[in-house]
Amino acid sequence: MTGAELHYKHSEWKFHIHCKMDVETDTPDQATTETGTVLGVDLGVNNLAVTSTGTFWAGDEFDHWRREYENRRDDLQECGTRWAHENTQSVGRKEEGRFKQMLHRIANELVQEARDHGCSVIAFEDLTDIRERTGASWGHKWAFNRLYEYVEYKAAEYGIDVAQVDPENTSRRCSHCGFTHPDNRESESFTCQKCGYENHADYNAAKNIGLRYLRRNQTGRRRRTLGRALEQRDDECER
């Protein structure tokens, strides 16, 4: 549990508890580079963020307040008065402030997660088409972009790099054996049709994001090494 709020509406009291959900990690080690460990982060609607270390930040709180502020704006717009217009703008400022505070908290916890596991890199999926891929609202897309920006500058204070990788098939690929198939994922459940590996789909995707960053950079290092070897060979041939 990370926090709680008490609300009164329509003659009813409601107690909202903010939680992070942990799953048992199935591998003791994470994707590693020459300089350290990569923390993969999957973003989504039901779970705003899930890491390759098995920590979840549920989207319930974000969705609750998004609906709450939408209802407030709708009620004010029905009035059609100048007072209602001014209060609509005020509601918008309060909404942005609340979400920024929430995203700052999640960003701090993500960076701390990376530090706790000795990570030198935090890898996100490419955010360019995330709305189309996940069915997210414009509000979610704004939140994803802002969260990435917050993590990027907060992580820099600790010498942790932040990057984005190609998200293609990260939700369909088995992080255990590498088999990729559309039937591997069903809603939030992941079951590999080849090796039988089972876990939460977002957790599996987060692991694939970290692994993809690792493979991308290993490939880049191999190409640079090969390039240097060819240059050296050409120099020797000229001599």
Note the pLDDT of residue 63.
75
Percent of the chain at pLDDT exceeding 90: 44
pLDDT tens per residue, range 120-132 = 999 999 998 887 7
Residues 6 or more apart in contact with residue 138 via CB below 8 angstroms: 131
Residue 236: pLDDT above 50? Answer: no
Q: What is the mean pLDDT of the chain?
A: 78
Residue ranges covered by each domain of the chain: 3-238
pLDDT tens per residue, range 115-167 = 999 999 999 999 988 877 776 777 788 889 999 999 999 999 999 999 999 98
DSSP-based three-state secondary structure for 224: helix
Q: How far apart are CA 70 and CA 10, in angstroms?
A: 17
111 contacts 77 by C-beta, under 8 angstroms: no
Long-range contacts of 148-154 (CB under 8 A, 24+ apart): 148/124, 150/103, 150/104, 150/107, 151/107, 151/110, 151/111, 151/122, 151/124, 154/107, 154/108, 154/111
Note the pLDDT of residue 225.
46
Residues comprising the chain, all counted: 239
E strand or H helix that includes residue 70:
helix 60-79
pLDDT tens per residue, range 57-109 = 988 877 776 777 666 666 656 666 665 556 666 655 676 777 888 899 999 99
Per-residue tokens: 186: 């069903």
Report, as an integer, the average pLDDT of 189-205: 94
Task: Report in angstroms the alpha-carbon separations of 178 from 39, 50, 124, 172, 214.
Answer: 18, 20, 19, 9, 14
66 contacts 60 by C-beta, under 8 angstroms: no
Q: How far apart are CA 133 and CA 145, in angstroms?
A: 15
Spatial CA neighbour of 127 closest among 92, 71, 165, 75: 165
Q: Which amino acid would we find at residue 77?
A: Q
Strands 119-125 and 161-165, how do they pair? parallel
Report, as an integer, the average pLDDT of 179-183: 94
Per-residue tokens: 192: 């590999």
